[in-house]
């Protein structure tokens, strides 16, 4: 019996993300139209954006929506690698008509593809999966490689907010 390559089944939420193409993109499609986030948010909000905040692991954007509602002068970019939760976040943003949030379905390791160097004012990483077992340590998102990438994205004086319960 020959070894056959595993079949790849597309995630059903991959195509559904296209319903929200004004504020949500999949890194795999390579069509993220934004490189200057302040300009993107100023067009979407018809206002002046004072800073850009990048949340790593935004999940369904529930937290971002609450914070963005009270801070219309801030542009928020959330990233998560899970299709379904990001779809729920994109729907929430659309339903609430929150124009100062955009989402990316992707990996934080590829953040340089979505941002210019020195573009982000703050990075938020709240309660990432701890990957506590020795065999899982390679999966942690808080490591030297990721910190170097995030440092390059941040403006001089930028801040990294990290919170964990592990």
Q: Which of 88, 84, 26, 38 is nearest to 62 (CA)?
A: 88
Q: Of these residues, 31, 70, 129, 152, which one is catalytic?
A: 129
Cβ atoms of 49 and 42 closer than 8 Å: yes
CB 64 within 8 Å of CB 58: yes
Which burial class, exposed, middle or buried, applies to 143 when counting CB atoms under 10 A from its CB (0-12, 13-18, 19+)?
A: exposed
Q: Is the dihedral of CA 117, 118, 124, 129 positive or negative?
A: positive
95 is catalytic: no
Cβ distance 53 to 70 under 8 Å? no
Give CA–CA dist 164/166, Å, rounded: 5
Cα 137 from Cα 130, distance rounded (Å): 8
**Residue 14 CA from chain centroid, whole number:** 15
Q: Which residues are catalytic?
A: 129
């Amino acid at each position: 019996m020959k070894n056959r390559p595993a079949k790849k089944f597309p995630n059903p939420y991959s195509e559904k993300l296209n319903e929200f193409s004004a504020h949500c993109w999949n890194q795999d499609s390579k069509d993220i139209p934004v490189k200057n986030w302040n300009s993107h948010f100023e067009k979407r909000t018809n206002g002046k954006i004072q800073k850009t905040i990048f949340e790593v692991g935004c999940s369904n954007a529930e937290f971002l929506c609450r914070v963005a509602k009270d801070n219309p002068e801030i542009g928020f970019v959330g990233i998560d690698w899970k299709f379904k939760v990001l779809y729920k976040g994109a729907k929430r943003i659309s339903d609430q008509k929150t124009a100062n949030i955009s989402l990316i379905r992707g990996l934080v390791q590829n953040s340089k593809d979505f941002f210019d160097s020195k573009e982000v004012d703050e990075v938020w990483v709240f309660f990432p999966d701890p990957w506590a077992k020795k065999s899982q340590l390679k999966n942690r998102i808080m490591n030297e490689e990721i910190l170097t990438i995030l440092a390059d994205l941040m403006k001089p004086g930028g801040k990294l907010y990290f919170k964990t319960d592990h």
